[in-house]
């Protein structure tokens, strides 16, 4: 499906120079001279190489249509991550080359994910927007910090370090955004 060059969004998969690329970051630029363009940082789906490209609104870009199926994460064994299709109960194992390294710590047993595939070849997974995790270690609050803008480091049960508000203590369950790895709110459970 052809889209305008300025309609590319982060997460979109496009076909460019005969290869499949996932848009990672975008930036609209409007120079003093000449027309506006979209600066897109892309990552090759197959080998992970990066490419920065400029697209003008007059250019057409081929957006790839991906098949998305719901799978349940079962287990990890020797770098292979096994998922089960929720409809057919068929199992599939994906290597760390298909799963983004930032996503791996957020995989939880029984979690439902979307596996994206292109021409029946898995190319990535999409995690739920948020997960609930417990804080196992939180730094003490420094006296004199204003509560409005200060955050302190904390260690989650999955080994990831994030910044949390001062009132969050060790043992608290919080909601974490899986895409950016940031604190959202205290869990309501």
Q: What is the pLDDT of residues 87-117, one digit of tens each?
A: 999 999 998 878 888 889 999 999 999 999 9
Whether this prediction's pTM lies above 0.85 is answered by: no
- Mean pLDDT throughout 153-163? 93
Instruction: Place 144 in a pLDDT band, splitting at 50, 70 and 90.
Output: low
pLDDT at 146: 58
Instruction: Place 31 in a pLDDT band, splitting at 50, 70 and 90.
Output: confident
Q: What is the pLDDT of residues 161-188, one digit of tens each?
A: 999 998 889 999 999 999 888 999 999 8
Q: Calculate the average pLDDT of the chain.
A: 88
Q: How far apart are CA 111 and CA 95, in angstroms?
A: 17
Domains of the chain as residue ranges with CATH: 2-63 (2.30.30.30), 67-126 (2.40.50.140), 130-186 (2.40.50.140)
């Amino acid at each position: 499906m052809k889209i305008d060059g300025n309609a590319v969004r982060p997460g979109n998969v496009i076909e460019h120079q005969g290869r499949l690329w996932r848009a990672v970051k975008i930036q609209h630029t409007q120079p003093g001279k000449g027309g506006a363009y979209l600066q897109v940082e892309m990552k090759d789906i197959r080998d992970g190489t990066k490419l920065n490209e400029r697209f003008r609104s007059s250019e057409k870009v081929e957006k790839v249509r991906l098949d998305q199926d719901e799978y349940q994460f079962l287990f990890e064994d020797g770098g292979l991550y096994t998922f089960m299709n929720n409809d057919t109960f068929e199992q599939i194992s994906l290597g760390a080359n298909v799963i983004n390294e930032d996503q791996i710590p957020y995989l939880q047993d029984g979690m439902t994910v979307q596996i994206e595939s292109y021409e029946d070849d898995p190319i990535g997974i999409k995690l739920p927007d948020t997960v609930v995790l417990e804080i196992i270690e939180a730094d003490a609050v420094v006296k004199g910090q204003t509560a409005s803008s200060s955050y302190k480091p904390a260690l989650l049960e999955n080994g990831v370090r994030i910044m949390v508000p001062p009132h969050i203590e060790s043992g608290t369950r919080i909601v974490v955004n899986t895409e950016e790895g940031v604190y959202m709110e205290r869990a309501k459970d």
